[in-house]
Amino acid sequence: MRVLVTFAVEGEFAPWLALRKFHVRRLVPDQGSGGLKVYEAESGGNTVWVHLTGIGAGMRKGLFPLGICARQAGVDVLISSGLAGSLKKELEVGEVIVPRRVGTLRDAAGVEAHAGLVQIAAHSGSKLVEVLLTADHIVETSEEKNRLASWGDAVDMESYAIMRDLSGEGIPAVTIRAVSDASDEDLPIDFSACLTTEGNVKPLPLLMRLLRRPAKTVDLVGFGVRSKRAARNLAEFLDSFVAALNPEAIRKDIGVAAQ
């Protein structure tokens, strides 16, 4: 099978890149957009392609060719992956989650994940949740997380658009993410001002904020440690999950989900 996995930024993908040998290539290079840059590896007889979309709204420029290239390349399964913030106290930092659907504040019904893939992920050890909410900005405070908790179990900035567009291409899709910050936790700095859409740090804005509030340096280091641990957990889960995928297992689990 051909499995396409998306991450927003390289930092989310880095532990998997260290775990398995990937090489860079382009899918459908003769496509009008120039094709899709991916990292390719083999896992359990399956071909894995990893594509970095960028963060949130910044990824939109690359999303149009993603669906087209995925269809033309014969992708069998799409996994929207990366880190997410918890909106419920039941979800702990480091846990790997799989939502039944992904929605937004404007589309509460959202996009249903492929039932068979959800069941396989849940049976493989990820925590099953009902809704992953995709926000249009970084949710930074516990106060805002508490307000959003009535809409979902966790929050990210990419999965809704990816799931909607790839499902629209007829490709079975699922979201699998790891929790990077707790529901009662404020993020240590204003990441929206300190990161590019590719996830690179803007040194000057970061330095200015830490100079104004030096105590936040300790919080930032702690957040980084926890985020890396979550990304490692996600990499280990994805590596075994992708290796176990096969058409028969997906069809079998669809039947189980329907019962």
Is a pLDDT exceeding 80 seen at residue 193?
Answer: no
- Cα angle, residue 127 at apex, residues 121 and 133 outer, rounded to 5°: 95
The predicted pLDDT at position 86 comes to 98
d(CA 175, CA 79): 5
Is a pLDDT exceeding 90 seen at residue 256?
Answer: no
Is a pLDDT exceeding 70 seen at residue 253?
Answer: no
Range 36-49 burial, b when 16+ CB lie within 10 A, else e: bbbbbbebeebbbb
Kindly state the helix (H) or strand (E) to which residue 10 belongs, with its residue range: helix 10-19
Name the nearest CA neighbour of 82 among 162, 179, 4: 179
CATH code for position 147: 3.40.50.1580
**Out of 12-16, 39-43, 74-78, 188-192, which region has the weakest mean confidence (pLDDT)?**
188-192
With bands split at pLDDT 50, 70 and 90, how would you rate the model's confidence at 221?
confident
- Percentage of residues in the chain having pLDDT higher than 90: 63
pLDDT digits (tens, 9 = 90+) for 39-61: 999 999 999 999 999 888 556 55
Name the nearest CA neighbour of 126 among 161, 93, 166, 99: 99
The predicted pLDDT at position 213 comes to 80
Name the nearest CA neighbour of 50 among 29, 61, 65, 66: 66
Name the nearest CA neighbour of 67 among 118, 123, 28: 28
pLDDT digits (tens, 9 = 90+) for 134-152: 999 889 999 999 999 999 9
With bands split at pLDDT 50, 70 and 90, how would you rate the model's confidence at 110?
very high
Which tokens belong to 231? 């990304």
Residues 65-79, mean pLDDT to the nearest whole number: 90
CA–CA distance from 258 to each of 21, 53, 245, 250, 251 (Å)?
Answer: 37, 33, 19, 12, 11
d(CA 43, CA 240): 8
Host domain of residue 193 = 2-258
Which tokens belong to 23? 């090489």
SS3 category, 109:
coil
Is a pLDDT exceeding 80 seen at residue 199?
Answer: no
Evaluate if pTM is beyond 0.85: yes
Which residues, at least 6 apart from 199, have a Cβ–Cβ distance to it below 8 Å?
8, 9, 10, 11, 12, 54, 55
Number of domains, the chain: 1
Provide the mean pLDDT of the chain.
Answer: 88
SS3 category, 112:
strand
Name the nearest CA neighbour of 178 among 16, 1, 3, 4: 16
Q: Please answer whether residues 132 and 149 qualify as being in contact, where contact means their C-beta atoms are separated by less than 8 angstroms.
A: no
With bands split at pLDDT 50, 70 and 90, how would you rate the model's confidence at 192?
confident
